Amino acid sequence: MSRIGLFYGSKRGDTADAAEKIKEAFDKVEQDLVDVYNVKKVDLSRMQEYDKLILGSSTWEEGSLQMHWMRAISQMDALDLSGKQVAVFGLGNQSEFPTTFQTAMGTLATRARAQGAELVGRWPIDGYEFDETPAVEDGWFVGLALDNTNQYELTEDRIKTWVKQLTREFGLKE
């Protein structure tokens, strides 16, 4: 089975925790299927080693990428992600930032698609309250939207459900 590369940026630890929970959920499909990388500590050229990628970032303030992603994102310009499946996840605060909720996740999806990736893992917008976001296309989030500030109690179940979905979309055995 082909391995999955999960690349995340985290300052306060919420995105790192979500990345670990995603890995743990995939471990139930197959142990050590996912390699986890903090973008603060790795060159993004490592993405080339995987056919399946998961990218995660929180949205900061008025719609910015997490600071380590901001420093690393330009490295993606040199990558050819053609033929790769990419899923994205994000953390944000829908009540405090309803017009920029999950903007970073939308940025990662746009960048991955621009480099030739096929996006997978879209997520329903039901159960969220926000005004607008570039992370919604055709009435769906481009990836898993998490809000640990207002909906922490839903995070674990959302991750488990999304990983089951990705298991199918990635063509992995369940």
What per-residue confidence (pLDDT) applies to 70?
A: 82
Say how far apart CA 140 and CA 45 lie, in whole Å: 29
Mean pLDDT (the chain) is 93
Cβ distance 94 to 61 under 8 Å? no
Q: What is the pLDDT, as a whole number, of residue 124?
A: 97
**pLDDT tens digits along 66-98:** 888 988 888 999 999 999 999 999 999 999 999
Domain boundaries 4-169, corresponding CATH code: 3.40.50.360
Query: What residues does each domain of the chain span?
Result: 4-169
CB 164 within 8 A of CB 174: yes
The H-assigned helical ranges of the chain are 14-27, 67-72, 103-114, 152-169
Cβ–Cβ < 8 Å for 113, 76? no
pLDDT given at position 174: 59
Q: Are 169 and 28 in contact (CB under 8 A)?
A: no
Instruction: Tell whether the model's pLDDT for residue 9 goes beyond 80.
Output: yes
**13 pLDDT exceeds 90?**
no
Provide φ and ψ at 46, rounded to 5°. Answer: -60, -25
